[in-house]
Chains A and B, each alone.
Chain A
Amino acid sequence: MGLKEKLHQTKLKYQGKKMAPAFNALHTFLYSPNETTHSGSHVRAVDDLKRTMNTVIMALVPCLLFGIFNAGYQHYSAINGFPENFSVLEHFITWDNFWLGAITVLPIVVVSYGVGLAIEFLFAVIKGHEVEEGYLVTGMLVPLIVPVDTPLWMLAVAVAFGVVIGKEVFGGTGMNILNPALTIRAFLFFAYPTWMSGDKVWVHGAVDRAGTADAISGETVLGYLAQGNNTEMFAKYDLSEMFFGFIPGSVGETSTFLILLGGLFLIFSKIASWRIMVSAVVGSLAMGLIFNGIVAAEWIPEYSKFYGLMSFEFWQHLLVGGLAFGIVYMATDPVTGSQTNRGKWIYGFLIGFLSVMIRVFNPGYPEGVFLAILLMNVFAPTIDHYVVRGNVKRRMKRLKNATIFPKVSGEVEELKTETV
């Protein structure tokens, strides 16, 4: 009797018992169950929720690997100085970088999945439904959007909060209003701001070394800009470094290049909505252009604290911070985003627009992607509502103007009122 057969036997044994959902979740994660749907018509397709989630995770793995190497690279560069003639193979993809990154990033991944799945299993057992796969992607997104040195207990508290308050109270996977990963990020940001912002948290070891002779700093690109140190920033990082992601930042969000590849992969596998991505990019460019215009028109003096970020080239906003990551992986969340096609255009555009706006005007922290997406998550149902209403109205109007040919003459008015 093979392993697969044994699992099926165990499953039958536990059917109807309290722990059945927990067992089934593990079982169907590894194997397809040997039972078929019994009644009703059903669609035969391979892309069920589990497949969808796994596809997104596949798109995230490059970002995670890059994040692991980058964690090591940023740490060693901050201590030993940045290499003169940077070459990817020589300075970036090294065992040292990988090892350091692995021991700092992988615990975050383990805690994120461990705590989140434990809560999912707990709720499934209490409420007696099958474990849903929603957490698979959230669990992978969370490590990628937090600073590398986030204390693990804080992460555990935030994950528990995000999964329970952000998702389970609304009814679990597919019912949540807010993106759980962003809820977790927002909770961390408001609960422990010193660990989520500043120039120390983005590079491993910087917090521990603060105040000592070995102190190192890992100011992000946006951090420099928020202080108006534009020239200093450009002396340290050039555009290609920003694009390929060799800059400090949250673990997996730095490489716009890999995010772009992941985004294309999601678009071609038809998992994520290209409309949201495109319109969000357009929205952020539009806001960036407005700011650039304000600077060009000299409406804002150079000593203003917004000058640094406002004068940043509009399209370069896409290369730094979490904007690209948010647009590709967070804004496109099918549960919390708009459902209608026209709604997606509006929803995406406003996400991009607000992200850059909050980024520039946020006094405490020069980033706003997660806030913008959470805000638009709340508005997504309203947008959809008005899009649907608009559609209904247009069709009603068409109907009013249409001529209806009745079988028997004299029934025109009657038919019309009936349809309306």
Chain B
Amino acid sequence: MALLSKKDANLILDPLADNNPITIQVLGICSALAITAELKASVVMALSVIFVMGVGNVVISLMRNLIPSKIRIIVQLVVVASLVIMVDQVLKAFAYELSKTLGVFIGLIITNCIIMGRFEAFALGNGVWRSFLDGIGNALGYGVILIIVGFFRELLGSGTLFGIPVFGDPVAKTGLYSIGYENNGFMIIPPAALIVVGIIIWVQRSRNRALIEEA
């Protein structure tokens, strides 16, 4: 027996590709631009959002029949804010350097449109298990793009992956650097993330033409 029914599996798989929150719905762009200069930061950001999204969707789904619809946005904000504070505190306690790099952007998960979007569109109207899968799926879809962008930006911009030199030492001129290669400073600044995300969108849509919007 399959672990998940086909319908449930699609809750996770759809946001990874054909309904990706970043490349298709164009949500959550802000953090995708800001923190993807390093792969490590991208991974931590992705994990944080997966946690917030998964737990948040479950909590909202549990409370969906209790929340008066007039104040639902406030309730959603309270839920996401408490979860984000938990993530923030954990990071500060166990990964202080990293939490400094991510800075304000962990706090800004609160305003990440993907999260509020999923609360509104899915968790308020669906059961706990399906909401959980939907939350994990969307956060994974977000995380995948973050990691792809972070991979290229760190590799081309700093010549490292997770801080480990890949091409050699740029100062001592070893490896690729000895034949004149240099790191691309453009990849470190945020506009480069915009262009990398754009290229991902381009590739995705030329592989699956059904995704191209009508002009």
Chain B residues with Cβ below 8 Å from A191 are: 184-187
- Known interface pairs A151-B180, A153-B180, A169-B202. Does A192 touch B195 (Cβ–Cβ under 8 Å)? no
Chain B residues with Cβ below 8 Å from A151 are: 180
Judge if A300 is at the interface, Cβ distance under 8 Å: no
- Known interface pairs A165-B195, A169-B198, A169-B202. Does A192 touch B180 (Cβ–Cβ under 8 Å)? no
| Interface contact A192-B185, CB-CB below 8 Å | yes
Chain B residues with Cβ below 8 Å from A299 are: none
Judge if A190 is at the interface, Cβ distance under 8 Å: yes
Shortest Cβ distance from residue A361 to the other chain B in the assembled complex, whole angstroms: 19
Q: How many residues of A contact B (CB 8 A)?
A: 13
Chain A residues with Cβ below 8 Å from B181 are: 153
Judge if B182 is at the interface, Cβ distance under 8 Å: yes
Residue of A169, A190, A194, A195 touching B186 (CB-CB under 8 A): A190
Q: How far is the CA of A153 from the CA of B187 in the complex (A)?
A: 17
| Interface contact A190-B189, CB-CB below 8 Å | yes
Residue of B182, B189, B198, B202 touching A192 (CB-CB under 8 A): B182
B130-189 at interface with A (beta carbon < 8 Å) = 180-182, 184-187, 189
Judge if A193 is at the interface, Cβ distance under 8 Å: yes
Residue of A154, A169, A187 touching B182 (CB-CB under 8 A): A154
Chain B residues with Cβ below 8 Å from A190 are: 185-186, 189
Q: How far is the CA of A58 from the CA of B195 in the complex (A)?
A: 35
* Chain A 150-162 per-residue mask, 1 if CB under 8 angstroms from chain B, else 0: 0101100100000
Residue of B nearest to A191 (CB): B186
Chain A residues with Cβ below 8 Å from B187 are: 191
A179-228 at interface with B (beta carbon < 8 Å) = 187, 190-195
| Interface contact A187-B186, CB-CB below 8 Å | yes
Q: How far is the CA of A133 from the CA of B181 in the complex (A)?
A: 32
* Chain A 66-99 per-residue mask, 1 if CB under 8 angstroms from chain B, else 0: 0000000000000000000000000000000000
**Chain A interface mostly:** helix
Chain B residues with Cβ below 8 Å from A169 are: 198, 202
Residue of A nearest to B189 (CB): A190
Residue of A nearest to B206 (CB): A126
Chain A residues with Cβ below 8 Å from B182 are: 154, 192, 194-195
Residue of B180, B185, B198, B202 touching A193 (CB-CB under 8 A): B185
Shortest Cβ distance from residue B170 to the other chain A in the assembled complex, whole angstroms: 11
Chain A residues with Cβ below 8 Å from B198 are: 165, 169
Chain B residues with Cβ below 8 Å from A195 are: 182
Q: How far is the CA of A151 from the CA of B187 in the complex (A)?
A: 19
Shortest Cβ distance from residue B205 to the other chain A in the assembled complex, whole angstroms: 12
Shortest Cβ distance from residue B195 to the other chain A in the assembled complex, whole angstroms: 6
Chain A residues with Cβ below 8 Å from B185 are: 190-193
Q: How far is the CA of A195 from the CA of B182 in the complex (A)?
A: 10
Chain A residues with Cβ below 8 Å from B186 are: 187, 190-191
Shortest Cβ distance from residue A157 to the other chain B in the assembled complex, whole angstroms: 8
Residue of B nearest to A187 (CB): B186
Residue of A nearest to B180 (CB): A151
Find the residue from B186, B187, B195, B198 having the highest chain A CB count within 10 A. Answer: B186
Chain B residues with Cβ below 8 Å from A192 are: 182, 184-185
Chain A residues with Cβ below 8 Å from B195 are: 165
Chain A residues with Cβ below 8 Å from B202 are: 169
Q: How far is the CA of A169 from the CA of B198 in the complex (A)?
A: 10
Chain B residues with Cβ below 8 Å from A187 are: 186
Residue of A nearest to B181 (CB): A153
* Chain B 187-215 per-residue mask, 1 if CB under 8 angstroms from chain A, else 0: 10100000100100010000000000000
Q: How far is the CA of A191 from the CA of B188 in the complex (A)?
A: 9
Q: How far is the CA of A153 from the CA of B176 in the complex (A)?
A: 13
Find the residue from A154, A169, A187, A190 having the highest chain B CB count within 10 A. Answer: A190
Chain B residues with Cβ below 8 Å from A157 are: 184
Q: How far is the CA of A195 from the CA of B186 in the complex (A)?
A: 13
Shortest Cβ distance from residue A139 to the other chain B in the assembled complex, whole angstroms: 21
Chain A residues with Cβ below 8 Å from B180 are: 151, 153
Residue of B nearest to A194 (CB): B182
Chain A residues with Cβ below 8 Å from B189 are: 190
Q: How far is the CA of A195 from the CA of B195 in the complex (A)?
A: 23
Chain B residues with Cβ below 8 Å from A193 are: 185
* Chain A 323-354 per-residue mask, 1 if CB under 8 angstroms from chain B, else 0: 00000000000000000000000000000000
Q: How far is the CA of A32 from the CA of B16 in the complex (A)?
A: 52
Shortest Cβ distance from residue A330 to the other chain B in the assembled complex, whole angstroms: 20
Q: How far is the CA of A191 from the CA of B186 in the complex (A)?
A: 4
Q: How far is the CA of A192 from the CA of B189 in the complex (A)?
A: 12
Shortest Cβ distance from residue B185 to the other chain A in the assembled complex, whole angstroms: 5
Shortest Cβ distance from residue B175 to the other chain A in the assembled complex, whole angstroms: 16
* Chain A 375-400 per-residue mask, 1 if CB under 8 angstroms from chain B, else 0: 00000000000000000000000000
* Chain A 271-290 per-residue mask, 1 if CB under 8 angstroms from chain B, else 0: 00000000000000000000
Q: How far is the CA of A117 from the CA of B185 in the complex (A)?
A: 26
Shortest Cβ distance from residue B4 to the other chain A in the assembled complex, whole angstroms: 38
Residue of A nearest to B185 (CB): A191
Q: Assuming A187-B186, A191-B184, A195-B182, what are 14 further A-B pairs, CB within 8 angstroms?
A: A151-B180, A153-B180, A153-B181, A165-B195, A169-B198, A169-B202, A190-B185, A190-B189, A191-B185, A191-B186, A191-B187, A192-B184, A192-B185, A194-B182
Going nearest first, the 10 A-B pairs with the smallest beta carbon separation are A191-B186, A190-B186, A191-B184, A191-B185, A193-B185, A192-B182, A151-B180, A190-B185, A165-B195, A187-B186
Q: List 10 A-B pairs, Cβ < 8 Å.
A: A153-B180, A153-B181, A154-B182, A165-B198, A169-B198, A190-B186, A191-B185, A191-B186, A192-B184, A192-B185
